[in-house]
Structures are given as C-alpha cells and as structure tokens.
Amino acid sequence: MLEEDPDIRIVAECGDGAGAIAAIRQHEPALLFLDIEMPNGNGLEVLSSLPWLPVTIFVTAHRDYAVSAFEACAFDYLLKPFTRARFASVLARAKQHFSRNPGCEFLPATGSSSTTPASSSDLLVVRAAGKLVFVRTSELQWIEAEKDYVRLHLNRGSHFIRETMTNLQKRLSASAFVRIHRSTIVNVNEIAEVTNLSGSDCSVVLRGGKELIMSRRYRAELDRLLGRELHLAKSVSRQAPDSEIPAGDSHLA
C-alpha cells in the first residue's frame, strides 16, 4: 500500500528488531510502521532503544500491547486484519500531522523531559469491566466524572472506567475535545448549541439533545478551540461537519 502513495518514499524494510534499530539510526525516517512481535527484539524494545522517535504506527495482530504502545508515544495502532480504508485514514492523518508541524518529524523518546501524549490518535484504549476496550474518539460524545471514575458516552452505549478527568484529557485531541466543567469534557463536533444562563454559566446542548452546563471557569477553553471569544446573546450553534492485511515486518518512510 505504501508503494502506491506518491508522497511516501520507503527507505528501508526490516525483518527483525536489531535490523530495525540499525536502519532507523542510519536513515532517520520521519514515519515508521512497526510490528510488535519480531525476532531479536519486539517493537516496544526497538522504540525504547532510540534517543528520539519517528512518528510511529504499530501494525500488529496483538491487542494486548496497545496500552504499552500508546504509553511509548505511538501515533496509532493498526490491528490486523484491517481494511484499505482504515490504512488510508491512518496514513492521511500522519500526513496531516507533518503538514501542521513542518520541521517537527520526531517525537520525544519515552522518559524525555518533554512529552507528547497519544492524543493525536483516533483510538483510545481503556480498561473497562476487566478487559481492554478500543474506543474511536470520533464516536465519543462526552465524558462525565463520577468520583474516582469517568463514564465515556458513545454514539451507542457507554463505558465506566477508573481514570481521572485530567489524565483522560491529556490522551484526547486538544483540537476536538474541550473541558466545559470540572466534571465534563465534550467532543466539540457534537455541540449543537451554546446558550447563556442566568449568572455566568452556559447551557451546552449536544446534537443528540443532551444538555450540559459549562461553567465560567472553562468558557475560555471553548473560546480557544473556536478561535474566537464567544459573545452570547441567546445561543451559538455549530454546523455538522461534512462528513485484510497479513502479518508483516517494519517499514520506514
């Protein structure tokens, strides 16, 4: 699939971990497709051996490593088998990342003093009801805090997980999710209307009809995301946005 893309130049292909490390150090690729289980070192060990990280997309049949992969600053996690459409979507987002961050081809290595959360990914991996759940953030409507837990409200159903709002917010895209209350985070694409209430609070109505409260403390966050200050007389509305791969080795581009 990579060979078909005119924007991609493949500089090396490797069959084991040791070869991948050597090739990465030699070619310093901007983009890395990496399997988890390989001879002579797995993908996570490859990343941990580097002083800097290419934008890394794991391509693997192993679900169990997803949390560790994102903790290692993976850009995305492609589970085999996957469709051409899924692969194209991930590659398009990687290109978008480079276009938005010219000159920033590398992420800090694990343990670096500056950290890049895995919020750029559309995949949120959480532990719920004793299992790993793979949540598409595009399907995540809003999040509410319930003491030491949070509830993820999706297009269909919800998940109750043990996590703090602060840590969860760090794992989400800052351009798509905004905190509107100490106990509420919303997907900005789900907002249908914002209305002033008495005092300084606002009512935030989602497209499905759910009404939430935005406190004055967090109003600036929505201003930042929209790129302007909200001057609400009655309401502000948002328009709806337009809207099988075998096991392999590692690829550098």
CA distance 3 to 15: 18
**Residues 205-239 pLDDT 10s:** 999 999 999 988 888 887 777 765 555 444 445 55
Domain extents for the chain?
Answer: 2-120+246-252, 123-237
Average pLDDT over residues 24-47: 89
Q: Is the CB of residue 31 less than 8 Å from the CB of residue 253?
A: yes
Residue 243 reports pLDDT greater than 90: no
Q: What number is the average pLDDT over the span 40-46?
A: 87
**How far apart are alpha carbons 164 and 114 in whole angstroms?**
21
Summary mean pLDDT of the chain: 79
pLDDT in tens, 158-193: 998 888 888 888 888 888 899 999 999 999 999 999
Res 205: pLDDT: 93
Distance from C-alpha of 75 to C-alpha of 118, rounded to nearest angstrom: 6
Looking at residue 133, its pLDDT comes to 79
Helix (H) or strand (E) holding 67: helix 66-71
CA-to-CA distance for 49 and 61, rounded, in angstroms?
23
**pTM tops 0.85, yes or no:** no
User: What architecture does CATH give domain 2-120+246-252?
Assistant: 3-Layer(aba) Sandwich (3.40)
**Which among 208, 221, 206 is positioned nearest to 172, based on CA atoms?**
221
Strands 52-60 and 31-34: parallel
pLDDT for res 168: 86
Pick the CATH number of 123-237 from 3.30.110.40, 3.30.70.100, 1.10.1240.10, 2.40.50.1020: 2.40.50.1020
